[in-house]
């Protein structure tokens, strides 16, 4: 698995394939320009409008430069999204498992619905259905960190005696976030804070010793 380096000190490195080029300040500026332009296109026009030609034109670099670091537009979108959301979903620690889960869930819902990241992530999820290389990178660089953040919250709740015995953490996290991505991808019902709070209230009946705590 390629190591992700969103802001490399010497070598621009893709989170998907690890392709690298010997680093110079000009290379770093070009790397950042590509990610900035990709983020702008995703925000303005969506994943479907993202092309290597458009990225190259907007960033003022050649297509060869982009292909030196990334294999295709999905690779660029992956790094652009990861760079943008890296600090947007902190792990809450309020002293209450229910409040921590609510804050974490609301942060994810807001990130997916109030920024450009939702459509971009939906596009990447669609891409990984036919691109295992991108799928592996998405699971490693995006999904794993999100799940570990949720596990951290659950572990703290278990240590405080708030969590029911025998709770499977993997199932709990899938139950919490699966419906969020279901609504993101299918759009059959609103994905908003009201839904997030209703989802959490229902799940807490099974997760928590005291669901109202």
Angle at the Cα of 65 (from 117 to 46), degrees rounded to 5? Answer: 20
Residue 26, pLDDT score: 67
pLDDT of residue 5: 41
d(CA 150, CA 153): 5
Residue 10 confidence (pLDDT):
44
d(CA 37, CA 54): 9
Q: What is the pLDDT of residue 130?
A: 86
pLDDT at 88: 65
Residues of the chain below pLDDT 50: 1-10, 20-23
What integer pLDDT is reported at residue 132 of this predicted model? Answer: 87
pLDDT recorded at residue 21:
45
> Radius of gyration (Cα) for the chain, nearest Å?
19
The Cβ-side half-sphere exposure at 161, using a 13 Å CA radius, reads 0
Domains of the chain with CATH codes: 1-73 (1.10.10.60), 88-207 (1.10.357.10)
pLDDT at 120: 86
Q: Which pLDDT value is given to residue 6?
A: 44
Q: Determine the Cα–Cα distance for residues 173 and 154; give it in Å rounded to an integer.
A: 9
Residue (of 123, 125, 133, 128) closest to 50 by Cα position: 123
170-119-131 Cα angle (round to 5): 65
Q: pLDDT tens-digit profile of 65-74?
A: 999 999 889 8
The pLDDT of residue 22: 43
């Amino acid at each position: 698995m390629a190591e992700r380096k969103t802001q490399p000190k010497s070598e621009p490195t893709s989170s998907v394939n690890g392709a690298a080029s010997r680093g110079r300040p000009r290379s770093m500026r070009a790397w950042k320009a590509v990610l900035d332009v990709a983020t702008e296109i995703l925000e303005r026009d969506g994943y479907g409008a993202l092309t290597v030609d458009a990225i190259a034109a907007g960033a003022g670099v050649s297509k060869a430069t982009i292909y030196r670091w990334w294999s295709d537009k999905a690779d660029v979108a992956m790094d652009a999204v990861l760079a943008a959301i890296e600090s947007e979903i902190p792990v809450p620690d309020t002293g209450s498992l229910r409040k921590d889960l609510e804050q974490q869930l609301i942060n994810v819902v807001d990130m997916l619905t109030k920024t450009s990241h939702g459509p971009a992530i939906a596009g990447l999820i669609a891409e990984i259905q036919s691109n295992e290389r991108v799928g592996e990178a998405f699971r490693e660089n995006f999904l794993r960190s999100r799940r570990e953040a949720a596990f951290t919250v659950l572990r703290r709740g278990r240590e405080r005696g708030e969590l029911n015995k025998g709770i499977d953490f993997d199932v709990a996290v899938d139950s919490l976030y699966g419906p969020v991505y279901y609504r993101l991808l299918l759009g059959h019902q609103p994905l908003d804070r009201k839904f997030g709070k209703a989802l959490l209230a229902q799940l807490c009946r099974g997760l928590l010793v005291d669901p109202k705590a």
